[in-house]
Amino acid sequence: GNKNDLGIHTEVIPGGIARLVKEGVINGKYKTLNPGKTVASAFIGILPDELDIVDGNPNFELYDFTYTDDLRILVNQKNYVAVNNALAVDLGGQACSESIGPYMYTGTGGQTIFTVTAAYCNPGRSVIVTPATALVKGRRLSRIVPMLEPGSVVTALRAFVDSVVTEYGIAELRGKTLKQRAAALVEVAHPDFREELKKESKRIYHL
């Protein structure tokens, strides 16, 4: 809410975006593609009052995902920041956002395309945002893990992940060695899991 002149080009618009458009935080002023427009292929999880904002609003444009997720189109955007989530991130920075081990949890979506796009845009940046933990059947698990579970789908390759954000901070990964990446990711993990992650870091990367 304290930002200005943001632009959106995404596959799915979540709740909250419509209000930011109404308040002028998101206006697409500096977008290279579809300037002045908030672009997506669908909405998800938006409330009735947000639907009222969107209905008939010329600031929103919906396209087929073959447009919103087209690498050839996206690379023409300037100052592009790809923001995605993840189910798990390993100590090298690989993000699994589709499966829990070999079991599919959600679809592939556009994350792979958007993270690759950010590497080719000038300037561009790819950010993975995830809670530090997940609660599974009453048990708290770390989303920052030494290695992805066997069979996990690597949605965002580590070479295309510049930053990982949790509620404990920002791990800046761009330009760092694997050892440096692991150390940075341990620092944004939940405190209860940091010691074990440090031990695993030493085992894997000889820190």
pLDDT, residue 173, reads 97
Over the stretch 83-94, which tens digit does the pLDDT of each residue have? 999 999 999 999
Query: Which residues does the annotation mark as catalytic?
Result: 11
**pLDDT recorded at residue 174:** 95
Distance between CA atoms of 35 and 18, rounded to whole angstroms? 17
77 vs 110, 116, 129, CA distance in Å? 16, 13, 22
Are residues 79 and 118 in contact, defined by beta-carbon separation less than 8 angstroms?
A: no
User: Is pLDDT at 207 greater than 70 in this prediction?
Assistant: no
